Structure 1
């Protein structure tokens, strides 16, 4: 199982309302994250992901790129909370020890209805 696969499966499970399973399978001890909106521990983030799935049952999550470099994996994706929502371009950066996620950064940018950039965000 590659780190790219683990990162992808973690995000898919979390986005589809299975954050407990995602954390159980793929997150290591002493996990920490850097999302500015939540405390930096695993339980807080897991519960926030669970709440997001519960309040946004029609959420869609599409991965566009996955890059692996040593113990780091970056995932570029499109997250939409509802079908009508333009969503966010999101980048998750995972740090691994062996085959477990031990650190996570996530950055997002809203998708614009009208962009000056003809190349789009994806």
Structure 2
């Protein structure tokens, strides 16, 4: 629950600061210095190990592009080798049920993709600020399923995902479009 609240606070802060765009397909963000009200550097978002905010919008955009390229190759094309290109070997997972490390990610999703060969993940929104990239995703395990609404948060260093958080909930029948 705390992670959901943090993701919502991050999204609200970005939206309120003018740093985020909620339009599809791609958006860019302008990094800004850490605000005085933010947690101390080195533990910015309750467990994140980032203490660096890139000094240019281009760097934030490059991180966003890295995550989007990884996400499409891995979750839509089911290319497990995409993790070799885009995920650090010792990537820290904050998602319950996923172990740390690139190999653990590949092993877990090899099984999932085998059970759900037609699964897709539509990135509805993406936001980048510094080394953090946030995706709002509509994940559909099988065609015709309402799927899940997912918020994915990635920390990128040296063009690789080094840390990841994820929260999701099923798309309810009563309001499937209201979540996106």
TM-score, length basis structure 2: 0.61
Which has the larger Rg?
A: 2
Counterpart mapping for 1:15-26 below 5 A = 15=75, 16-19=77-80, 21-26=81-86
Correspondence 1:120 to 2:178 = yes
Query: Of Structure 1 and Structure 2, which has the larger fraction of its residues in strand?
Result: 1
How far 1:98 moved relative to its partner? Answer: 2.2
How far 1:68 moved relative to its partner? Answer: 0.3
Provide the secondary structure at the position in 2 that maps to 1:112.
coil
Instruction: Give the aligned partner of residue 121 of structure 2.
Output: 61
Contact 1:33 1:104 in 2 (8 A): yes
Structure 1: give runs of 5+ residues left out of the alignment. Answer: none
How far 1:119 moved relative to its partner? Answer: 6.3
Provide the secondary structure at the position in 1 that maps to 2:174.
coil
Q: Displaced runs of 4+ in structure 1, greater than 3 A?
A: none
| Residues 119 and 14 (structure 1), Cα distance of their counterparts in 2 relative to 1, 3 Å cut | closer
Within 1, Cα distance between the matches of 2:143 and 2:89?
36
Correspondence 1:96 to 2:156 = yes
Correspondence 1:10 to 2:64 = no
Within 2, Cα distance between the matches of 1:39 and 1:28?
13
